[in-house]
C-alpha cells in the first residue's frame, strides 16, 4: 500500500519533504535572445566558418527567390519560402555531423539542400511529382513534413532507437511557432526528456502561424520557456544571427551526443515573404513591420561583420553571388523540363508489402489507364498490382 492509498492520507498541499525533481534554474533560457554578430565575442569566431556560413546564406537567398519565381510560373504547386529565415536553415544543417539526422518541416527545403540534397529533389514534393522526391537515407534527411509537428515524435523515436543500439547519432527536428500548439509537440518533448533521447528541437519563431500571431498561440514568456516543463534546457537565440544559431545548435548537438539529453532551442526570426504563394500576408501584418525586419536581414548582418573585420572583399562577394546565380540557373533549367510521370508509381514505396486495398486501387487505375490508352510504356507487360504476389 502506498502513502496515498492509506486512509486519511490526502493532503491539499505537498508534504514538507516535497522538492522539485529537477532544479529549474539551469533549464531557463536567457532573458534576451543570444547574439554573437556585432558583439565583442564575434572576434573569437572562426573566420573560415563565417565565410562558409556566408556563402550558404547567399545561395539560400537566391534559392528562395528562384523557387518563388518557379511557383509564379506554374512549375511548383506551392512554395513556402524561408526568406528571412535562412540563418536558421543553414545553421541547422551545418551543426550536424554526417551520421546525424535532420527532420525538416515543409518550409525547410533549404536546410535539406545545405545538408546535401539536390534542389530539384527537395522541390519534387512541392511540385506534386512524387511522394517525397528523394531517398531519406542518402543524406539522412527525413521526408519533408506537411502536417504540423508530426516529424517531432519521429525524430525522438529515431534518436531513442539509435541510443539503444549504441549508435552515436543525434536527431535535429525543425518546427515553426505554430507547431508548438500541436499535441505532437508535447508528446515528442515529454518522451524525449523522459528517455533522455539525443535530439534537438529547433523552433523557428517567425511570428505567425499562417495569419495567427504568436500572442494568440501561447501566453508563455517565450517558447523556449516551455522546455522547463519537460525537464530539458531551453535556449533563446537571435534567429537572424547565423553565427549565434550555429553555436547554440552545435552546443545542443554536442550535449545530446554526450548523453545529456534533449534541448529546446527557440530562434526568433521572421518570414519576410507570405506563408506560401497562396497567402495574402497584407491582411494580417503591416508593411512597416516587414521593413523593420528587413533591417535585421541575416545576410546583411553577416556581411557587415565580415567586411568590418576585413574578411570579405568585393571579389569574394561577387564570387559568391556568381555561384548562387549558377545554382539558380541550373535549378531553373531542370525544373522547366516536363517530367515523365508514371501514375502507377503512386502505389510504390507506401508499404513494404502492398495491402489488399492498395492492390485493388492499383488494379482499378491500371484498368482505367489501359482503357484510355494512357498506360505508360514502362508499365506494359508488368504484373497487375491488384494480384497477390
Round to whole Å and give the CA distance between 162 and 139.
17
CB-CB contact of 185 with 191 (8 Å): no
Beta strand spans in the chain (E): 101-103, 171-176, 199-205, 208-209, 212-213, 234-238, 263-268
| Cα distances (angstroms) measured from residue 329 to each of 62, 66, 69, 95 | 10, 9, 12, 28
Tell me whether residue 275 is one of the annotated catalytic residues.
yes
Place of cell 511548383: 76
> Which of 52, 186, 284, 285 is flagged as catalytic?
284
From first CA to last CA, the distance across the chain in angstroms is 57
Tell me whether residue 10 is one of the annotated catalytic residues.
no
Tell me whether residue 284 is one of the annotated catalytic residues.
yes
| Cα distances (angstroms) measured from residue 175 to each of 36, 128, 150, 350, 357 | 23, 22, 9, 25, 33
> Which of 139, 154, 271, 366 is flagged as catalytic?
271
Pairing of β 212-213 and β 208-209: antiparallel
Q: Which residues are catalytic?
A: 271, 275, 284
Amino acid at each position: 500500500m502506498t502513502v496515498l492509498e492509506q486512509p486519511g492520507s490526502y493532503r491539499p498541499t505537498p508534504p514538507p519533504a516535497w522538492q522539485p525533481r529537477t532544479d529549474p534554474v539551469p533549464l531557463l533560457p536567457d532573458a534576451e535572445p543570444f547574439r554573437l554578430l556585432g558583439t565583442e565575442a564575434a572576434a573569437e569566431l572562426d573566420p573560415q566558418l563565417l565565410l562558409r556560413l556566408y556563402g550558404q546564406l547567399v545561395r539560400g537567398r537566391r534559392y528562395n527567390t528562384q523557387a518563388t519565381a518557379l511557383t509564379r510560373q506554374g512549375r511548383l504547386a506551392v512554395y513556402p519560402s524561408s526568406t528571412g529565415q535562412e540563418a536558421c536553415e543553414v545553421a541547422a544543417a551545418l551543426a550536424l555531423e554526417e551520421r546525424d539526422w535532420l527532420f525538416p518541416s515543409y518550409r525547410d527545403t533549404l536546410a535539406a539542400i545545405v545538408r546535401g540534397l539536390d534542389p530539384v529533389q527537395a522541390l519534387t514534393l512541392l511540385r506534386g511529382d512524387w511522394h517525397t522526391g528523394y531517398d531519406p537515407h542518402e543524406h539522412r534527411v527525413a521526408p519533408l513534413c506537411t502536417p504540423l509537428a508530426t516529424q517531432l515524435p519521429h525524430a525522438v523515436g529515431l534518436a531513442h532507437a539509435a541510443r539503444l543500439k549504441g549508435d552515436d547519432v543525434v536527431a535535429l527536428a525543425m518546427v515553426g511557432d505554430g507547431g508548438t500548439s500541436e499535441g505532437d509537440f508535447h508528446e515528442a518533448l515529454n518522451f524525449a526528456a523522459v528517455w533522455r533521447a539525443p535530439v534537438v528541437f529547433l523552433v523557428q519563431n517567425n511570428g505567425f502561424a499562417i495569419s495567427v500571431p504568436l500572442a494568440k498561440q501561447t501566453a508563455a514568456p517565450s517558447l523556449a520557456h516551455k522546455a522547463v516543463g519537460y525537464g530539458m534546457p531551453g535556449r533563446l537565440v537571435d534567429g537572424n544571427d547565423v553565427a549565434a544559431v550555429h553555436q547554440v545548435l552545435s552546443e545542443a548537438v554536442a550535449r545530446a551526443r554526450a548523453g545529456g539529453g534533449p534541448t529546446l532551442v527557440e530562434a526568433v526570426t521572421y518570414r519576410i515573404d507570405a506563408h506560401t504563394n497562396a497567402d495574402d500576408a497584407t491582411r494580417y501584418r503591416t508593411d512597416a513591420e516587414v521593413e523593420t525586419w528587413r533591417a535585421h536581414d541575416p545576410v546583411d548582418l553577416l556581411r557587415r561583420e565580415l567586411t568590418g573585420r576585413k574578411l570579405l572583399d568585393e571579389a569574394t562577394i561577387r564570387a559568391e553571388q556568381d555561384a548562387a546565380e549558377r545554382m539558380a540557373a541550373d535549378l531553373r533549367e531542370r525544373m522547366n523540363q516536363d517530367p515523365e510521370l508514371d501514375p502507377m508509381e503512386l502505389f510504390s514505396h507506401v508499404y513494404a508489402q502492398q495491402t489488399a486495398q492498395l492492390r485493388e486501387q492499383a488494379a482499378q487505375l491500371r484498368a482505367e489507364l489501359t482503357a484510355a490508352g494512357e498506360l505508360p510504356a514502362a508499365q506494359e507487360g508488368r504484373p497487375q498490382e491488384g494480384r497477390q504476389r
